[in-house]
Chain A
Amino acid sequence: MARIIVVTSGKGGVGKTTSSAAIGLGLALKGHKVVLIDFDIGLRNLDLIMGCERRVVYDFVNVINGEATLNQALIKDKRVSSLSILPASQTRDKDALNKENVGKVLEDLGKLYDFIICDSPAGIEAGAMMALYYADEAIITTNPEVSSVRDSDRIIGMLASRSRRAELGLEPIKEHLLLTRYSPKRVAEGEMLSVEDVEDILSIPLLGVIPESQAVLKASNAGEPVILDTESDAGQAYQDVIDRLLGETIDFRFLVVEKKGIFSRMFGG
């Protein structure tokens, strides 16, 4: 049975779409069948980050309305054949989705894929609720600052009260904390919350810490999810996230300010 994973946050602009793209592609590179769904109806970002924006013909809303079949709307990734993207509509508004039809689409996708990754819109309104409703797991994307942590806390409360699993009294949604845009230097300077601070406030298991990285912007502009940039710290941190999602235990990296480079160490700088 497919694992339905929502990438959510409450607060906007914290790195949900960046993370959805990296994680979706990363899982597919490991040989899993993955579909990425853009729930951010009206904004349509995921296809840009994935670099398939020119291949969108039909979208999620078309499928919901019966104007296109899933097969017509799904875009196969050019890099990895086991990955597909179901793009959001740019022209409809967020009320276009309803529980029943979304449930039907997820059920159909569940027969074809191992992982269904739902990129949630920001906020706590209908769109975000729809994205989390059917989830089995949630990746709560959080920046190390107070307002983002507060919003994540809010969303965690909603996972436990507004989801299908909550309504039916099933086992609760499995929560994962993903700390993004982490800057050890700014933490050391007291400008940002530390990993420990955030864990203490949210008290859910830590899935990963993605450092603030130039590589992310570069990757977005190129339409090549940052996980493909295996040299970059952010790419490696996302790779660790994939391994942890697949059940491995891996030490956390990029948590402290970089030691001096090898040259300055050798020459006693």
Chain B
Amino acid sequence: MAAARIEFKGSSFTLSVLHLKTATIADIRADLAKKVAQAPDFFYLVPIVVSIDKLNDDIDYQGIKTLIEEFNFTFVGFTGAISKEQRQLIRECGFSFVNTAKANTVKKTVLVEESVAEKPKAVIATPQRDLYTDKIHRGQIRSGQQVYAKDQNLVVIGSVSAGAEVIADGNIHVYGSLRGRAIAGATGHHKAQIYCQKLEAELVSINGNYWLSESMEEHWASPVYIQLTDNELTSSKLI
């Protein structure tokens, strides 16, 4: 018997989602330009799903797709909790509609709860993202160098110089001084955190929310960790 030469299988991936709070193309372009400028290499050809959750009607689907591609992302499709009619419309315009895993989870939860009294732990557990492994970099990261931990946390045993850039999809730990730029949760992970022994950074960013040096006054030159609380960066002393 000849083996099948192609096969369809389901797999889950972690994709970046761009959440739109406006449908005005010019505004989206302006904000995207700012974000992408922070780490142009890093965003290059990254697959992007656009969430239109928070938008009313009157969406220029083609315009949004073109804009996304203008910034060298790979456009995947639209997502969001929207009406059946709107989904139909998106398909008619020739775009995919992508269901989020969360939406499925919610459905499942309800199903399970109907039949069993006990809360299903497995379903509540957050997706694989909390299980990032570590990429370990030994030695100082110098001005002009960039280290990216794709789908990983980044552990730097040494300092990050001014003019250097560290990026991780997970957390960033710097066992030394952080003087350059640190971008954690780079592909959209609001729980990501940044730890360092001495905060003297040019920029820190978690899930797209960033601080420049001037915002770090409170804990400047201290051992700190930085996290996102209600979409705001906050810093706390480590010791």
Contact = CB atoms under 8 A, between A and B. Distances in A.
A160 B158 CA distance: 15
A157 B141 CA distance: 7
A203 B159 contact: yes
A154 B163 contact: yes
A157 B159 contact: no
Contacts, number: 35
A157 B145 CA distance: 7
Interface in A121-173: 124, 150-151, 153-154, 156-158, 160-161
B140 interface: yes
Contact of B163 (A150, A160, A203): A150
A150 B158 CA distance: 17
Main secondary structure of the interface of A (DSSP, over half): helix
- Chain A interface residue bracket vs B: 10 to 19
A197 to B, nearest CB: 12
Contact of A153 (B158, B163, B177): B163
A204 to B, nearest CB: 9
Interface residues of B, number: 15
Interface string B127-146: 00000000000011111110
B162 interface: yes
B161 interface: yes
B143 A154 contact: yes
A246 interface: no
A1 interface: no
Contacts of B158: 203
A201 interface: yes
A201 B12 CA distance: 43
A158 B143 CA distance: 10
A207 B162 CA distance: 23
Interface of A: 124, 150-151, 153-154, 156-158, 160-161, 200-201, 203
27 contacts: A150-B143, A150-B161, A150-B162, A150-B163, A153-B142, A153-B143, A153-B161, A153-B162, A153-B163, A154-B142, A154-B143, A154-B144, A156-B142, A157-B142, A157-B143, A157-B144, A157-B145, A157-B161, A157-B164, A158-B144, A160-B139, A160-B142, A161-B145, A200-B177, A201-B179, A203-B140, A203-B158
